[in-house]
């Protein structure tokens, strides 16, 4: 006779048991192992399968290390500031503090229902003043050290999400999140002088037991290259165009130059005949 397996009741029972008797306990004797996920944006009402696709890997790995005798430091938190959360609040017609708190509560409930191993006593929320006061503190320290500065730079811009995107978030010219066509937009923004630490960052990659694919992504992000900056004089003007090249020896064969649409001289150097076409292209 077939027996109906009531998975809801069974899972509920064991979730309650594990909450009362945690399997990952720091007794002060076990070696510690640190595992960190990317914190989710609480810019939606709940998790989707893409979240768990990533978290299941770290959960399996955490359980594996726990079986090897480690105490697992596996925090969870909420990357709750930013335009995605704000846009969701606008869409729902509520204040961001309300929608974010509701979304965090629901996502936390979902993660607990999955029964993934996380240290909830190490929960982080970027909207908590006790958290972001340290973000502000370290930014001030970096600013005073000359590592933070303002600069107008072109970014990948999603007109639907109304936010900037990393190159990795642009797939075939579209926003990874919503599918809208991504454009370039000049924005004045705060920058950090990561390049000042390029040598150390690249050298220390060899110390990491990471897949070569991930290390290559980090290396490309750091973006160190060797070359020279050369000023080209503009005919009939005192202006110059600065170019960077890794092969200055080939410049004698240069026959033309292409300015990026966001270049500050793009409009100024356009001829009367091409002015409208250039402005249409830039805009």
User: Is CATH 3.40.50.620 what the domain over 15-124 is classified as, yes or no?
Assistant: yes
Mean pLDDT, rounded, of the chain:
89
Tell me, letter by letter, the H, E, C secondary structure of 81-142.
CCHHHHHHHHHHCCCHHHHHHHHHHHHHHHHHHHCCCCEEEEEEECCCHHHHHHHHHHHHHH
On the CB side of 65, CA atoms within 13 Å amount to: 19
Classify the C-alpha dihedral 112-116-119-123 as positive or negative.
negative
- The reported pLDDT for the residue numbered 164 is 85
pLDDT in tens, 200-255: 999 999 999 999 999 998 888 887 788 999 999 988 888 999 999 999 999 888 88
- Residue 33: exposed, middle, or buried by beta-carbon count in 10 A (0-12, 13-18, 19+)? middle
The model carries a pTM of 0.70
Angstrom CA distances, 228 to 201, 242, 243, 248, 254, stand at: 22, 10, 8, 7, 15
What is d(CA 183, CA 173) in angstroms, rounded to the nearest whole number?
Answer: 8
Question: In the block, which residue shows the tokens 């790995």?
Answer: 61
Angstrom CA distances, 113 to 14, 19, 75, 253, stand at: 10, 11, 17, 65
Asked if the model's pLDDT at residue 70 lies above 90, the reply is yes
pLDDT in tens, 23-36: 898 888 999 999 99
pLDDT in tens, 115-147: 899 988 899 999 999 999 999 999 999 999 999
Q: Which phi and psi (to 5°) does residue 183 adopt?
A: -120, 175
The proportion of the chain whose per-residue pLDDT surpasses 70, expressed as a percent, equals: 99
Asked if the model's pLDDT at residue 185 lies above 80, the reply is yes
Q: Which of 3.90.1150.10, 3.20.20.70, 2.170.220.10, 2.60.120.10 would CATH assign to domain 132-222?
A: 2.170.220.10
What is d(CA 78, CA 186) in angstroms, rounded to the nearest whole number?
Answer: 29
The proportion of the chain whose per-residue pLDDT surpasses 90, expressed as a percent, equals: 48
- The reported pLDDT for the residue numbered 163 is 82
Asked if the model's pLDDT at residue 1 lies above 70, the reply is no
- Number of residues in the chain: 283
The domain segmentation of the chain, as residue ranges, is: 15-124, 132-222, 228-282
């Amino acid at each position: 006779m077939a027996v109906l397996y009531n998975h809801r009741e069974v899972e509920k029972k064991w979730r309650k048991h594990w909450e009362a008797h945690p399997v990952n306990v720091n007794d002060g004797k076990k070696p510690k192992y640190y595992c960190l996920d990317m914190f989710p944006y609480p810019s939606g009402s709940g998790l989707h399968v893409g979240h768990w696709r990533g978290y299941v890997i770290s959960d399996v790995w955490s359980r594996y290390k726990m079986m090897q005798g480690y105490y697992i430091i596996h925090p969870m938190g909420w990357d709750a500031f930013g335009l995605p959360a704000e846009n969701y609040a606008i869409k729902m017609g509520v204040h961001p503090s309300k929608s974010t708190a509701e979304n965090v509560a629901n996502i936390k409930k979902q993660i607990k229902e999955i029964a993934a191993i996380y240290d909830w006593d190490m929960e982080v929320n970027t909207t908590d003043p006790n958290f972001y006061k340290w973000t502000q503190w370290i930014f001030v320290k970096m600013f005073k050290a000359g590592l933070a500065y303002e600069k107008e730079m072109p970014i990948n811009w999603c007109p639907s999400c109304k936010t900037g995107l990393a190159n990795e978030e642009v797939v075939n010219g579209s926003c990874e999140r919503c599918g809208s066509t991504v454009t370039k937009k000049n924005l004045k923004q705060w920058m950090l002088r990561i390049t000042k630490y390029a040598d150390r960052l690249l050298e220390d990659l060899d110390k990491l037991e990471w897949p070569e694919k991930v290390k290559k992504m980090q290396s490309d992000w750091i973006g160190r290259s060797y070359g020279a900056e050369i000023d080209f004089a503009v005919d009939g003007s005192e202006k110059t165009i600065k170019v960077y090249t890794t092969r200055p020896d080939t410049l004698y064969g240069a026959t033309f130059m292409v300015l990026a649409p966001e270049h500050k001289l793009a409009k100024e150097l356009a001829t009367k005949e091409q002015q409208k076409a250039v402005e249409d292209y830039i805009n």
